[in-house]
Structure 1
Amino acid sequence: MTTYAVTGATGHLGRLAVEDLLTRGVPAADVIAIVRTPAKAADLAERGVQVREGDYDRPDTLPAALAGVERLLLVSGSEIGRRLPQHEAVITAAKAAGVSRIVYTSLLKADTTSLPIAGEHVGTEALLREAGVPFTVLRNGWYTENYTGQLSRYLGTGAVVGATAAGRISAATRADFAAAAVSALVDGAEATGAVRELGGPAFTLAELAATITEVTGTPVAHQDLSGEQYSATLQQASLDEGTAGFFAAVDAAIAHGDLHTDSDALTRLLGRPATSLSDAVRAAHTTHTA
């Protein structure tokens, strides 16, 4: 049987990918959850999943973590500014371990976007090309949860505030991105070196506000600001200047179209339509009111 490993398996996306592998009928013994803190994956170990310590910042832990792995889902790290050396350590260890395929979760339009976090993804894609290990790059769009996770605030303030103008966001749920990643991982026909731009049904922040209003019955308006106004508003809400500037830069990128794609690659990998915005808002509202 093929062995599959998922890095960051206690994170949001990694955990969902492990669960998806199990749901597809992959034997638990053939699923390897690579985690920084094995105790946090004790429930997976109880279900027969191989839980192995593998720390991006401790390359000496990676050879044992990747021993016997045939296909690897490399979930991008979350520590901005440190990800390139972290990813390089994993790719180097994977090559040495004889991994036959790597699937990497990159960023939508990584090579052309103005998003400040793109550089590490572009660098990782280059490392994969240089490594000589067959790979697939999945350039994921924004998570729908980036917005539905703020539902309580939207309902409390009655507004979705941003600086995106009429920019469209091809977001998808973490579960959809995880399922797509697993599809790429298990599909032996997936083209080596393929780069897939992944995004769900696109929406504007005005459409997000309208959807929240429709689903919840609570009026929520859209308030569009300039980048400077948005940064100042975030700082007034206790964010530091750097963080506020980052979020303003994200919205500027959205206004520029950097988080929008017409690609149907996500739907093709899923074998079904991606989760709609209304369904995602409805699920978040159910959780909010539970």
Structure 2
Amino acid sequence: MGKIIVTGASGAFGSAAAHLLLQRCAPQDLIFLTRMPEKLKHLSQAGADVRAADFDDPASLRMAMAGGERMLLISTARVGTRVGQHRHAVEAAVAAGLRHIVYTSLIAADAPDNPAIVKHDHRATEQIIEASGLQWTHLRDSQYAEAIALAMVIPALASGHKPDNCANGKVAFVSRDDCVASAVAVLTQEGHGGKAYTLTGPDLISVPEALAMASAIAGKPIRVEQVDDDAMFAYFDSLGVPRHASDIVPDGPIPWSSDDMVTFGTAIREGFFACRTDHVERLTGVPPRALRDVMTQYAGAWPQ
């Protein structure tokens, strides 16, 4: 087996994948790409090859990928403009002679009627990879349980209420750790080329049910206010969240847009995330973690 590349190795997903790969592979067989190599000195000290790479500088990417065989392409955070970045990465992978790209995508990315605008970035990237001539595997992640346990629950507990446009749409929230473990399994096993896996947790739960669970764990009330999409936009406007990806200030305090979040809620409400699979366990050999387990892990960070 040739060398394994992980892009964005200084990010949360990439860093977790790097550490898990170091437990399973010889360090000299691992290449970790990042815009900030100084953040990954601990990985180079462990024997891995840490290389500077910038998706906005395509000329640098082919050299950064030299010698690799399989690559975990972790989607970048720039909603609305990241397809170009991903295209640069795929083109560099082809030029560098890679054999297989594993991509972190989104549940229901291939559903034509999915209203979540983020799915356009993911499906476009999937199609670029499929057209590259390389082997591919798409990992279509459900919503992260950690995002619920932290980004959603903390402000809801602090204020005692949460406006929500998801209604009673169900989601099988998945731990990011399980998605990382699934990605590492695909990178280190044979037989996954040309396949798309939908990675979910074990339980279909609505957002109001998830917040009720958090309320019970914390012993503090959360009142869920069911609102329509327009009211959800107004709520984000009140927080100063930019409406569109094109309005996001680079390196600003809020790196996401409300049209992304509101249409995500619409997709949940309309049932596009109401899917539960056994793919995590099939890939890793371990059942996926429940949302309650993830919430309990992070409850110490909740407001008292």
Counterparts of 1:54-203 in structure 2, within 5 Å, are 54-112=53-111, 113-150=114-151, 151-190=153-192, 192-200=193-201, 201-203=203-205
Change (3 A) 1:199 1:66: same
Give how far 1:208 is off.
0.8
Give how far 1:219 is off.
2.5
Cα shift readout 1:135-176 (whole Å, capped 9, x = no counterpart):
111111111222212332121112233111101122212211
Q: Please tell me whether the aligned partners of residues 199 and 260 of structure 1 are also in contact (alpha carbons under 8 angstroms).
A: no
Give SS of 2:85's match: helix
Amino acid at match of 1:13: F
Counterparts of 1:137-286 in structure 2, within 5 Å, are 137-150=138-151, 151-190=153-192, 192-200=193-201, 201-242=203-244, 243-286=257-300
- Comparing 241-250 with 110-119, which one deviates more in the overlay? 241-250
Structure 2 runs not aligned, ≥5 long: 245-256
Give how far 1:289 is off.
7.0
Counterpart position of 1:38: 37
Change (3 A) 1:163 1:289: closer
For 1:48 and 1:258, the matched residues in 2 are separated by 43
Amino acid at match of 1:86: Q
CA RMSD across the alignment: 1.8
Change (3 A) 1:123 1:212: same
Amino acid at match of 1:156: A
Change (3 A) 1:245 1:5: closer
Q: Please tell me whether the aligned partners of residues 198 and 266 of structure 1 are also in contact (alpha carbons under 8 angstroms).
A: yes
Q: Please tell me whether the aligned partners of residues 158 and 303 of structure 2 are also in contact (alpha carbons under 8 angstroms).
A: no
The number of equivalent residue pairs is: 288
TM-score (norm 1): 0.93
Structure 1 runs not aligned, ≥5 long: none
For 1:260 and 1:15, the matched residues in 2 are separated by 29
Counterpart position of 1:6: 6
Counterpart position of 1:15: 15
Q: Please tell me whether the aligned partners of residues 157 and 303 of structure 2 are also in contact (alpha carbons under 8 angstroms).
A: no
